Amino acid sequence: MAKYLLLKHYRGAPAAVNDVPMDRWTPEEISAHIQYMNDFAARLEKTGEFVDGQALAPEGSWVRYDGEGRPPVTDGPFAETKDLIAGWMVIDVDTHERAVELAGELSAAPGAGGKPIHEWLEVRPFLTAPPTITE
Amino acid sequence: MDEALLRSLTPGVIALLVRRGADFAAAEDAVQDALVEAVRVWPAGPSPGSPPRSGPGEPLRDPKGWLVTVAWRRFLDQARSDSARRRREELVDEEPAPGPASGVDDTLQLYFLCAHPSLTPSSAVALTLRAVGGLTTRQIARAYLVPEATMAQRISRAKRTVSGVRFDRPGDVATVLRVLYLVFNEGYSGDVDLAAEAIRLTRQLAAAIDHPEVAGLLALMLLHHARRATRTARDGSLVPLAEQDRGRWDTESITEGVAILQAALARDRLGEFQAQAAIAALHADAATAAETDWVQIVEWYDELVRLTDSPVVRLNRAVAVGEADGPRAGLAALAALHDSLPRHTAVAAYLHERDGDPATAARLYAEAARKAPNLAERDYLTRQAARLNAGRGR
């Protein structure tokens, strides 16, 4: 019973095996890809392991506090930012091995030519509440 | 309406339906429906002016009878709407006599079923909380911070997994204890108090079966629960055992835990939970941290190593050795363990500080903070590193 974030990157991850940008896919390939993701999430709901899944727009801005009574400072978007998160899925699973297994399946989503993308997904454990018994 | 009473009746009512011929999954659903119905229709308490109720008798006088009647009707309705018509007719024909139930044994069977070895730990936990604990799916989902639909699926899969398991075979107490331990150890997130719930379920189990390890786990829980109020500061930060305000430990809980443990130990069938409880009892027994009997604690860790051969136990033992025989001895014990063990770096940091090496300790505390599995620990370890670095005037 531990939560993991499966993180998908627009860029910043190592290159995928089937590394063709999505805008060069056929519409059917895009549909198949989206269908795979939806089916994957639906399957995790059925196994009782799904928590959340969201996609993010590639462009955002940076915001910071600028002192009492002043509006926050905004900046960006910065085209040169190396790491860009595309979206995530949160799962709740029994073991780290299971999290890795599921990330592997998600990474097999079909891309160009209907072949698996083999894209790199980042698997990050959630920090939890401290256990009651520690000694 | 007494929710605790209602929930304590849950396993007995499910078991009764199963003995009348319902399969476990259907019985469990029917009882869950009856519980929801009870919350809806039962008044907050008996009110003299309330009109007489039609339906399955007076709930307040005989809550169990009421639940059985309502759940059984639910079950029949469901069976009717299912395709299993033939089966339903047989069941209706023999409308069963309510009769007194041998509640204790039935409850025990439910514990075994919900902790069946074919279930993953998270499914066993969810099923136990619902079928034995009488919690709703929503409450369990909130306690584990997952969507209700996810928890509902987890529970129905768990029920399918155990659907072929015979209800009348004794199970393994050890698997039940592991499930209850997991529930207790989950911490205090969410709006259901899982620690208190685990204690209630373990207490109920201890009443149903005479087993020293059940008593050991109950004692362990009570002894840790006694420190609950002192484990965290107002701001949520972690307070280590040595710095806890022992005057605020719950003496009633400690007294009960120690008594249960002593009775269990007297039976001379030692197990890991009794040994863990013995360590907790030695901490509870020390009026100040300095008075802790670390030599005896090391001896109990030796027993635990013998019983479990767990690397985590060896790590905790290294801490105890550090207290009993000095930090050098603790570091020597630690050196034998792989540094990939959770909290290995934190323990190393602590022992190096006690050994008078704040520079190494600060570096290790910072490293341990990066590896910490939860926020409270990470913050605690970061503060330790910061304290040592400030002391060295960096």
- Domain locations in chain B? 3-100
* A31 in a structural domain: yes
* A131 in a structural domain: no
Give chain B's end-to-end CA distance (angstroms, integer): 61
User: Given A52, A125, A135, which is nearest B279 (Cβ)?
Assistant: A135
How far is residue B330's CA from residue B305's CA, in Å, rounded to a whole number? 16
* A130 in a structural domain: no
Find which of A1, A52, A132 to mutate to test the B interface (most B CBs within 10 Å of its CB): A132
How far is residue B221's CA from residue B137's CA, in Å, rounded to a whole number? 24
Residue A57 confidence class, pLDDT cut points 50, 70, 90: confident
How far is residue B19's CA from residue B30's CA, in Å, rounded to a whole number? 14
How far is residue B32's CA from residue B42's CA, in Å, rounded to a whole number? 15
* A132 in a structural domain: no
Residue B114 and residue B124 in contact, taking contact as beta carbons nearer than 8 Å: yes
Q: What is the 3-state secondary structure (H, E, C) of A74-133?
A: EECCCCCCCCEEEEEEEEEECCHHHHHHHHHHHHCCECHHHCECCCCCEEEECCECCCCC
Q: Supply the range of the domain harboring residue A58.
A: 2-125
Per the CB < 8 Å rule, is B184 touching A94?
no
* A74 in a structural domain: yes
The reported pLDDT for the residue numbered A43 is: 95
To the nearest whole angstrom, how far is the Cα of B57 from the nearest Cα of chain A? 38
Per the CB < 8 Å rule, is A127 touching B189?
no
- The per-residue b/e assignment along B149-169, b for 16 or more CB within 10 angstroms, e otherwise, is ebbbbbbbbbbebbeeeebee
Residue B369 and residue A127 in contact, taking contact as beta carbons nearer than 8 Å: no
Per-residue tens of pLDDT for chain B, all 394 residues: 577 888 889 998 998 898 888 889 999 999 999 998 888 887 655 444 444 454 555 566 788 999 999 999 999 998 888 765 555 555 555 545 444 444 447 788 899 999 999 999 999 999 999 999 999 999 999 888 899 999 999 999 999 999 888 777 778 899 999 999 999 988 665 568 899 999 999 999 999 999 999 999 999 999 999 999 999 888 878 899 999 999 999 999 999 999 999 999 999 999 999 999 999 999 999 999 999 999 999 999 999 999 999 999 999 999 999 999 999 999 999 999 999 898 999 999 999 999 999 999 999 999 999 888 888 888 899 989 998 988 765 4
Per the CB < 8 Å rule, is A48 touching B157?
yes
- ipTM comes to 0.75
* A14 in a structural domain: yes
Q: What is the CATH number of the domain that holds A59?
A: 3.30.70.1060
User: Given A125, A127, A135, which is nearest B378 (Cβ)?
Assistant: A127
**In chain B, which residues have their Cβ closer than 8 Å to the Cβ of A3?**
145
Measured between alpha carbons, how far is residue B261 from residues B203, B241, B284 in Å? 13, 21, 13
The reported pLDDT for the residue numbered B51 is: 45
* A23 in a structural domain: yes
User: Given B155, B187, B241, which is nearest A129 (Cβ)?
Assistant: B187
Per the CB < 8 Å rule, is A127 touching B144?
no
**Overall number of domains in chain A:** 1
Q: What single string gives the DSSP state of each residue in B31-73?
A: HHHHHHHHHHHS-SS--TTPPPPPSSS-TTT-HHHHHHHHHHH
Find which of B153, B199, B272, B304 to mutate to test the A interface (most A CBs within 10 Å of its CB): B153
Per the CB < 8 Å rule, is A46 touching B157?
yes
Closest residue by Cα to residue B388 from B345, B347, B356, B344: B356
How far is residue B219's CA from residue B198's CA, in Å, rounded to a whole number? 12
